[in-house]
Amino acid sequence: MNKKKGDLNKNLSPQSKRLKQFVEITGYTVAEFTRQCQIASPRTMTKILSDGNAPTPKVLEKIIARFPQLNHDWVVLGYGEMIVKGLQNQETSANSLEKSSESSYQYIIQALRDHDFGINELSKSVEKANQKIDTTASLVIETVGLYRKEQKERAVEFFDKVDLKIERGEKFVENKLEGIRKNAERVEIANRALIQKLDHKRKERNQENFDKLSRKIHQYLKETRELEQKLIKEQLAQGVEDLKKAMHENAVKQTDFAIKALLDKFSLKKIIPGLGSPNKVSSPRPKE
């Protein structure tokens, strides 16, 4: 709400603001103030007090006719005070209005003279200020030159110190790097020795394991050969037995065949052809 009110006050003209202050001092409402000043419509005062319009000369004349103590020039130009001295309680009259206006005009002339004098004094003050500014500027330029020279010398000294520190830092870093490099070489040598030692132990273990494995393989091969030789001997013995048996059976068969062939060759029929075969006698059937 205050913000909106402030925004409205910004739109008011200076005459409107000053006249509004006077109306507030009288204690009248806008409508009553309009009636007291014999202004035709309250809307006229509303446009001045609320909308910010500047009062017309005719309206301002009516207001001062009712309130001659109001300073005309204060309302219009802001010169002097709100209330004309000696007219706070006087009634309205054309003579007082004329005197108020005349005194206001005299006040304006005097104010303009004072204004011209003030401008002259201001010009003199500005000239003196310019002289002081020139003197100050020269002093500032000289001071700045000295300051720059001093700063330059300090900067040179500072950068010399910085260069010295950088050089010391570089040497320190180089020494540290050299120590790190030597330490790394020592560590590398130690690592190589450790690797060689571990590799030697690994080779020894591998050789030992290889020897154990080789002995196991030789033992296994020996046992396998012995088993194979045993199996071969057993198979050979069995084969010999089978061969002997087969040869024996074959010999028996050949002997039987030879005997049969001899029998067939030297049978009685062939030797004695007339000898007949014996009659077959059937075996009698047993009685049931």
Is residue 130 pLDDT above 70, yes or no?
A: yes
Task: Give me the pLDDT at residue 87, please.
Answer: 55
The candidate with the shortest Cα–Cα distance to 66, out of 90, 101, 83, 98, is 90
Task: Give me the pLDDT at residue 38, please.
Answer: 95
Average pLDDT of the segment spanning 101-122 = 56
Q: What percent of the chain has pLDDT over 90?
A: 25
Task: Give me the pLDDT at residue 91, please.
Answer: 44
* Average pLDDT of the residues of the chain: 79
Is residue 110 pLDDT above 70, yes or no?
A: no
The candidate with the shortest Cα–Cα distance to 107, out of 79, 134, 132, 77, is 79
Average pLDDT of the segment spanning 64-83 = 92
Say if residues 59 and 48 touch (Cβ distance below 8 Å).
Answer: yes
The structural domains of the chain, with segments of one domain joined by +, span: 2-92
Q: Write down the pTM of the prediction.
A: 0.32
Phi, psi angle pair for 243, to nearest 5°? -65, -45
Count CB neighbours of 39 within 10 A.
19
> Which tens digits make up the pLDDT trace of 222-268?
998 898 888 878 888 888 888 888 888 888 888 888 888 878 776 65
Q: What angle do CA 205, 211, 215 make, to 5 degrees?
A: 150
Task: Please report which confidence band the pLDDT of residue 36 belongs to, taking 50, 70 and 90 as the band edges.
Answer: very high
> Which tens digits make up the pLDDT trace of 158-215?
888 878 887 887 888 788 879 878 887 888 888 788 878 988 888 888 798 878 988 9
Task: Give me the pLDDT at residue 63, please.
Answer: 95
Task: Give me the pLDDT at residue 39, please.
Answer: 94
Task: Please report which confidence band the pLDDT of residue 17 belongs to, taking 50, 70 and 90 as the band edges.
Answer: very high
CB within 8 Å of 41: residues ≥ 6 apart: 34
